[in-house]
Amino acid sequence: MFFRWDWLRPVLTAPIVPTLGPVHPDALTVSVFEDILRAAGTGDFLLYDKDRRWGGEKGEKVLREDVVHEPQRTLIPTLGGRGTVKVFAYGLRGTIVDEAAELAAKLASTHDVTDARVVRPLGPEAAHPRGTRIQLKDFAAHPCLAPDGPVRPVTAWSAAVQETFAPFAEAMADDGLAFLHAQMQAGGCGPVLAAAVEDRIVGAIGPMEIQPDAIGRPQLMPQYFAVLPAARGRGLGRALWRAAMRWGQSHGAAYQLLQTEVDGPSDRLCRAEGLTSLGFSHATPA
The pLDDT value recorded for residue 184 is 95
Pairing label, strands 218-220, 255-261: parallel
The pLDDT value recorded for residue 193 is 98
The pLDDT value recorded for residue 26 is 96
Taking the model in full, what pTM does it have?
0.91
- Check residues 68 and 53 and name the one with the higher pLDDT: 68
Band of the pLDDT at 240, cuts 50, 70, 90? very high
Buried b or exposed e, range 161-170, using 16+ CB within 10 angstroms: beebbeebbe
Please say whether the dihedral angle defined by the alpha carbons of residues 227, 228, 232 and 234, taken in this order, is positive or negative.
negative
Other beta carbons less than 10 A from residue 264's beta carbon: 12
Q: Which CATH fold topology does 141-253 show? A: Aminopeptidase (3.40.630)
Mean pLDDT of 99-122: 96
Decide: helix, strand or coil at residue 57.
coil
Mean pLDDT of 18-25: 96
The pLDDT value recorded for residue 130 is 87
The pLDDT value recorded for residue 108 is 96
Compute the residue count for the chain. Answer: 286
User: Is the per-residue pLDDT at 148 higher than 90?
Assistant: no
Decide: helix, strand or coil at residue 94.
coil
The pLDDT value recorded for residue 1 is 74
State the average pLDDT for the chain. 94
Domain boundaries, the chain: 5-125, 141-253
Band of the pLDDT at 33, cuts 50, 70, 90? very high
Residues above pLDDT 90, as percent of the chain: 86
Mean pLDDT of 174-188: 94
- Check residues 236 and 54 and name the one with the higher pLDDT: 236
Amino acid symbol at 51: D
The torsion region of residue 120 among left (phi > 0), alpha (psi -120 to 50) and beta comes to: beta
Mean pLDDT of 163-188: 96
